Structure 1
Amino acid sequence: MNDDMTSPAGARNVLSTHSVYGAPCWVSLTSRDLKATEEFYSAVLGWQWRPAKLGERHRIALADGAPVAGIAAVAGMWQMAVAWLPYFAVGSADQAAARVQERGGTTAVGPISFPPGRAALLADRDGAAFGVWEGDLFTDWETWRRAQPAFIRLHTRDAFDAAIFYGEVLDWATGRPGACEVGYEGGEVVLRSAGEVVARIESGALEAAPDPAVRPHWQVHFFAADVGACVRAAELHGGSVLSAGEDEAVLRDPDGARFTVAARRRP
């Protein structure tokens, strides 16, 4: 992919997925109303925007000038879920997709080539959607991590079962250079890359629950300087507040996509 794609496309002179095996490396969002989405996230998270070379239905979100996320508009007639999607860095998108299918997961899109890499949209065996990216990273990984995405959390039926699934697909805890480390803290499975917490997995979601907040899903957590200001902005710009505390709030954008804002501190 080129440096304007809404997926974790490669940029010049940055790290490749071979340097951060299995770590989250990008997030993307689908939207039914691109203008409303831009206005909402600009108000809530202070994002700026630039067009993507894919066309007028795609945007790149910037935080303090650094790319942090991709947004893609979908036709209003399409009955598809609107949600945040994390991408994980892999050495081979084809191998990752094959491993997902071998272990009872599914492939929604791909793997497909976007020079200089390959991508696939997948789901684990409990239905939680995620993407994989092979190739140059969209921007320097450390820059992306510190610009705004804090970490991601998988709400799933069985955290240990999910950790085994993702570990086998994404080469977690293999000891290879750049591979993520897996631990257990505070009742959650914790994923670390280069010593930093980048993902957590918790049990409790119900596989057949009608509520998307209860079904297995990945939720993206974004850093915020003022969580209270994010809450007020979300309410004023067509979103809703699902829960709110001093250091963290769960919000829903006007299209229904859920995400979390967290105070800027290490999780």
Structure 2
Amino acid sequence: MARDLPTAEEFYSEVLGWAFRPTRLGEEFSVGFLDGTPVAGVGALADSLSVAVAWTPYFAVDDADTTAARIQERSATVAVGPLSFGTGRAALAADRDGAVFGIWQGRAIPDWSMGTDKAPAWLELRTRDAFEAAIFYAEVLDWACAQPGCCQVTYEDDHVVLRHQGDMVARITGGAVGEAPDPHIRPRWHVYFYVPDVDFAVRTAVGLGGRVVGDPGDPARADDWVSLRDPDGGLFTVTSSDPVPGLPH
């Protein structure tokens, strides 16, 4: 979600090479494509909403009402919905540590994936207790179930790793502090986007009003990945490498 949709489209077009197209959801929502492959959606926040600009992952579910009930039964929060939205139903929620995520029931707009080709590289949940969070999301989203197509959950190099059809799509890392003054290390979902040249992406982002998170040598940056904020403050990471479970952050 962005404050100014045209400005956000220009920024991500230049930094990540996306081309934006409108959707059936109206003028306030568009989808970014990379060489014809859908990558992510950007929507405009209403001026009256005093919420932070952020990238939010949405997880596909079979039944939004059932999933929302599971979230609430486990002492987490459903902030909005489930509501009818375009070709499906959606809800916005937060887990027990406050990390925000969404759920989506219905056909994707359009059909996209994670962790392969030009799609987002992967998601990372930075949370207080990785194992507790993994159990929560497995119960709520049917991870590690016996049905065909379910995600597999493993423990690799001190991370809980989520794979779908062999591709790493997300990981969960413990140690985040709920009351930390730096929001970068509070419990939150974080998105990594592939770029061919990290230095070029960083220079372009800074030239368009974005900024690097941390100073040179800070753990928020490395040779093949750097965390950035867009001009609205939205936090994301650009990377030129495949997911590595032992990657520092």
Letter in 1 for 2:237: T
TM-score, length of structure 1 as denominator length: 0.84
Which residue in the other structure is 1:265 paired with? 242
Task: Provide, for residues 75-132 of structure 1, a one-character-per-residue CA deviation record: whole Å limited to 9, x for no partner.
Answer: 3342111100001111211111110000011011111223643211111011101011
Contact kept? 1:58, 1:72, Cα under 8 Å: yes
Which residue in the other structure is 1:170 paired with? 141
Letter in 2 for 1:46: G
Task: Provide, for residues 162-183 of structure 1, a one-character-per-residue CA deviation record: whole Å limited to 9, x for no partner.
Answer: 0010010011111211111111
- SS, match of residue 127 in structure 1: coil
Paired residue for 2:164, among 173, 193, 196? 193
TM-score, length of structure 2 as denominator length: 0.90
* Structure 1: stretches of 5+ with no match in the other structure: 1-29
Which residue in the other structure is 1:70 paired with? 41
* Structure 1 segment 1-267 matched on structure 2, within 5 A: 30-114=1-85, 116-142=87-113, 145-242=116-213, 243-267=220-244
* Structure 2: stretches of 5+ with no match in the other structure: 214-219, 245-249
Task: Provide, for residues 33-74 of structure 1, a one-character-per-residue CA deviation record: whole Å limited to 9, x for no partner.
Answer: 222211111111011111233333222211112221111111
* Deviates most, 46-55 or 169-178: 46-55
Greater RCO (CA < 8 Å, at least 6 residues apart)? 1
Q: Percent of aligned pairs with the same residue? A: 54
Letter in 1 for 2:30: R
Corresponding residue pairs, total: 238
- SS, match of residue 192 in structure 1: strand
Which residue in the other structure is 2:217 paired with? none
Q: Distance in 2 between matches of 1:253 and 1:161?
A: 31
Q: Distance in 1 between matches of 2:143 and 2:232?
A: 33
- SS, match of residue 147 in structure 1: coil
